[in-house]
Each structure stands twice: as structure tokens, then as C-alpha cells.
Amino acid sequence: MIKGVLFDFDGTLANTIDLIVATFEHTCDTALGFKPARQRIVDTIGLPLGDALELLSGIHEEERILELRQIYGAFNAANHDIMIKPIPGVTELLPKLKERGIKLAVVTSKKAYMLERGMQCLGMLPYIDTTVSVLDTERGKPAPDPMLLACERLGLAPRECLCVGDSPFDLQSGNAAGCVTVAVEYTQLNWQNLLEQGKPDYTIAHPLDLLKLIDIL
């Protein structure tokens, strides 16, 4: 019986793809004089920011990555509220899940204050029971640690929770933790790669399809 849902945030609950791409483009262009291809940026979504910056920039020195983080953070903060949008159907889904007594968590590679800001912008805060952000665990996605911590905070076993995400890293984390994993078909990442690398137990085409899946399970 499913008693909890562990949601990724970016790309699963919130449409932040244009914000993320613009922020990485600005960061690399400002510091390094080039803009990574959009698809290369999209393929890093779900990773901790430092890991994504290393992959996109080719830089591994801690001091330089810190510089890139600062540029990224300033641009993202300045443009966040005007560019973030809810995924269609999520606004209807969350209260319906709460009506059923399902506990909800958001598990993200974002920092806690930016996650809270995003949820507040989209009116999601009243429905979320707990969150796990990038600094809450020593290892981030795709390691199981973030999902395991979310389950612990909800007071549920991993097998009682759906892990819902739009990237292979979300699903790999959920699978490793022992959750039931669900890939969202509205992802902007490569779908075939998501299936092959994430190996989801189920897929859904629309957020509200999650209610049907819970009924089946």
C-alpha cells in the first residue's frame, strides 16, 4: 500500500527548465566566454549544482567552481520568481493526495532556501510534509541517501513510497533506496535515456495519473 510520495522538484512539480538553462548559459558565458548547448545543460538536471558545473565547464578546481556557483546563484535569484511556473496538473494533484492521507515530500538537489522560495511561489507549501535538499545528506542523487532520509522523515518504509521524477538521477536514487519509482513522460530530458538509465517501475503521462496508479497499487 502506498502511503507516501517523494517528488523531485525541478521538472516534476515545477517548470524551471528555461530558468535553469538561462542560468547555466549566463554563468558559463560570464566566467568562461561560452554557452553550453541546451541539451548538455538539460542532461545535467537532477545533479547537485557543483557536479553539473564541473561537467559543463570542464573545471575541477574547487575555487573556480565556487566562483561559478556565485555567478549562478546571483542570476538565478534575480530571475527565479518571474520564470518559475507549475507543471500543469500539479496544483490539482497535491490537495487530492492530501485528501487521501498520502504523506508528501520533496527531494531535490537545490538548496533549502531556494526550494522553499519555489514552493512558496507556486502555493505548494501547505501540502508538503517534509523536504530533503542538497545539504541534508553527504551524498546526493543518484545515491539512495536523499530518498532514505525523506522516508525516515515521513515515518514510512521505502516500499510504501512512490519516488516520482523526471531525470535518471531521481529514479536511480529511488531504486537504490527501495522505493517504487515513477518516471514522468512530460520530462524535457531524453525519454529513452530516462527509461534505460532510470529503470522506472511505472510511467505517467500527466501528474493526475498518479492518483490512478496509487489506486492500482
List, by residue number, the catalytic residues.
8
Helix (H) and strand (E) counts for the chain?
A: 10, 8
The set of cell numbers assigned to 188 is: 524535457
Helix (H, G, I), strand (E, B) or coil at 209: helix
E-state strands within the chain: 4-7, 14-15, 85-86, 103-107, 130-132, 161-165, 180-184, 202-204
Is residue 33 left, alpha or beta, with left meaning phi > 0 and alpha meaning psi from -120 to 50? left
